[in-house]
Amino acid sequence: MIDENGVVRQKRTVFFVSDRTGITAETLGHSLLTQFDLDFEQVTLPFVDNVERARKVVEQVNRISGNGAPKPIVFSTVVQDDVRLLLKESNSAFFDFFDAFISPLEQELAMSSSHAVGQAHGQGNTQQYSDRIDAMNFALNHDDGVTTRQYDKAEIIIVGVSRTGKTPASIYLALQYGIYAANYPLTEDDLVEGRLPRILQPYRGKLFGLTIKPDRLQSIRSERRPNSRYASLQQCQMEVMRAEALFRREKIPFVNSTNVSIEEIATTMLHQSGLKRRVY
Amino acid sequence: MIDENGVVRQKRTVFFVSDRTGITAETLGHSLLTQFDLDFEQVTLPFVDNVERARKVVEQVNRISGNGAPKPIVFSTVVQDDVRLLLKESNSAFFDFFDAFISPLEQELAMSSSHAVGQAHGQGNTQQYSDRIDAMNFALNHDDGVTTRQYDKAEIIIVGVSRTGKTPASIYLALQYGIYAANYPLTEDDLVEGRLPRILQPYRGKLFGLTIKPDRLQSIRSERRPNSRYASLQQCQMEVMRAEALFRREKIPFVNSTNVSIEEIATTMLHQSGLKRRVY
A40-45 and B254-256 as β-strands: parallel, antiparallel, unpaired? unpaired
Q: How far is the C-alpha of A51 from the C-alpha of B99, rounded, in Å? A: 31
Which segment, A2-6, A103-107, A124-128, B158-162, is predicted with the most confidence on average?
A: B158-162
Distance from CA of B193 to the nearest CA of A (A): 30
Task: Choose the mutation target among B97, B267, B270, B279 for the interface with A, i.e. most A CBs under 10 Å.
Answer: B267
Q: What is the pLDDT of residue B101?
A: 92
pLDDT score, position A34: 87
Q: What mean pLDDT is predicted for residues A218-240?
A: 95
CB-based contact A21 B136, cutoff 8 Å:
no
Could you tell me which residue, A191 or B125, shows the higher pLDDT?
A191
Q: Choose between B247 and B37: higher pLDDT.
A: B247
Residues of chain A with CATH 3.40.50: 12-109, 126-273
What pLDDT score does B227 carry? Answer: 95
* DSSP secondary structure letter of residue A15: E
Instruction: Assign A93 to helix, strand or coil.
Output: strand
pLDDT band at B66 (very low <50, low <70, confident <90, very high): confident
At A27 the pLDDT is: 86
CA distance B78 to A252: 30
Asked if residue B221 has pLDDT above 70, the reply is yes
Tens of pLDDT, residues B253-268: 999 999 888 989 999 9
Rg (CA), chain A: 24
Quote the pLDDT of residue B8: 54
Burial of B62 by CB count in 10 Å (0-12 exposed, 13-18 middle, 19+ buried)?
Answer: middle
Count CB neighbours of A75 within 10 A: 29
CB A69 within 8 A of CB A78: no
Closest CA to B57 of B13, B117, B97: B13
Measured between beta carbons, the chain B residues lying within 8 angstroms of A97 are 28, 31
A40-45 and B207-211 beta bridge pairing = unpaired
| Confidence category of residue A66, pLDDT binned at 50, 70, 90 | confident
How does the average pLDDT of chain A come out, rounded?
90
Computed on alpha carbons and rounded to an integer, the radius of gyration of chain B in Å comes to: 24
**What residue type is A85 in one-letter code?**
L
- Nearest-Cα distance to chain B for A221, in Å, is 12
B113–A23 CB contact, under 8 Å = no
The pLDDT score that the predictor gives to residue B149 is 86
Give the helix/strand (H/E) hosting A29.
Answer: helix A23-33
Average pLDDT, chain B: 90
Residue A11 is predicted with a pLDDT of 86
DSSP label at residue A150: T
Give the model's pLDDT for residue A87: 97
User: What is the pLDDT at residue A259?
Assistant: 85
pTM over 0.80: yes
Work out whether strand A156-160 and strand A181-185 pair parallel, antiparallel, or are unpaired. parallel
- DSSP bridge partners of A184: A159
DSSP A30-64: HHHHTTS---EEEEEE----SHHHHHHHHHHHHHH
Query: HSE of B197 in the Cβ direction (CA atoms, 13 Å)?
Result: 19
Q: Which residues of A touch B20 (CB under 8 A)?
A: 264
State which of A11-20, A239-248, A259-268 shows the largest mean pLDDT.
A239-248
Q: Decide if pLDDT at B243 tops 70.
A: yes
Fold of B126-273: Rossmann fold (3.40.50)
Chain A hits for B31, CB-CB cut-off 8 Å, are: 24, 77, 97, 119-120
Name the band, by pLDDT with cuts 50, 70 and 90, for residue A121: low
pLDDT tens figures, A151-173: 999 999 999 999 999 999 999 99
Q: Are B130 and B155 in contact (CB under 8 A)?
A: no
Inter-CA distances, B113 with B77, B79, B80, B124, B269, Å: 14, 10, 11, 17, 34
For residue B64, what are the CA distances in angstroms to A254, B59, B68, B72?
Answer: 32, 9, 7, 7
Of A73, A140, A175, the CB nearest to B175: A175
Q: What is residue A129's predicted lDDT score, i.e. its pLDDT?
A: 83
**Cα–Cα nearest to A246, from A180, A201, A179, A277:** A201
Task: Report the alpha-carbon distance of residue B165 to residue B269 in Å, rounded.
Answer: 13
For the residues A69-83, what does the mean pLDDT come to?
A: 92
Separation in Å, CA B147 to CA A250, B102, B184, B223: 40, 48, 9, 27
CA atoms within 13 A on the CB side of A168: 28
* Rounded Cα distance, B116 and B114, in Å: 5
Which residues 6+ apart lie within 8 Å of B271 measured at CB? A44, A46, A47
Dihedral sign (CA A227, A233, A239, A244)? positive
Confidence of residue A3 (pLDDT cuts 50, 70, 90): low
Contacts of B133 (CB under 8 A, 6+ apart): A165, A168
Question: Distance between alpha carbon A261 and the CA centroid of its chain, in Å?
Answer: 8
Question: Taking chain A, what is the end-to-end CA distance rounded to the nearest angstrom?
Answer: 41
| Residue from B115, B264, B43, B174 nearest A262 by CA | B174
Q: Give the whole-angstrom CA distance, residue B168 versus residue B140.
A: 10
Q: How far is it, in rounded angstroms, from Cα A17 to Cα A93?
A: 13
pLDDT band at A118 (very low <50, low <70, confident <90, very high): low
Q: Could B120 and A34 be called an inter-chain contact, meaning their C-beta atoms sit closer than 8 Å? A: yes
Chain B residue with CA closest to A141: the answer is B140
Judge whether residue B155 has pLDDT over 80: yes
pLDDT band per the 50, 70, 90 thresholds, residue A9: low
Q: Is the pLDDT of residue B215 over 80?
A: yes
Considering A15-19, B26-30, B98-102, B122-126, the range whose residues carry the highest mean pLDDT is: A15-19
The alpha carbon of residue B255 and the mean position of all alpha carbons in its chain are separated, in whole angstroms, by: 17
Amino acid at B29: G
CA distance A203 to chain B (A): 27
Which CATH number applies to B12-109: 1.10.101, 1.20.58, 2.120.10, 3.40.50? 3.40.50
Contact B113/A36, CB-based, under 8 Å?
A: yes
* Minimum distance, in Å, between the CA of residue B84 and any CA atom of chain A: 16
pLDDT in tens, B17-39: 999 888 889 988 988 998 898 88
B16, B21, B31: best mutation site toward chain A, by most A Cβ within 10 Å?
B31
CB B120 within 8 A of CB A40: no
Task: Report, as an integer, the average pLDDT of A240-261.
Answer: 95
Q: How far apart are CA A275 and CA B159, in angstroms?
A: 35
Report the pLDDT value the prediction gives residue B123, as an integer from 0 to 100: 52
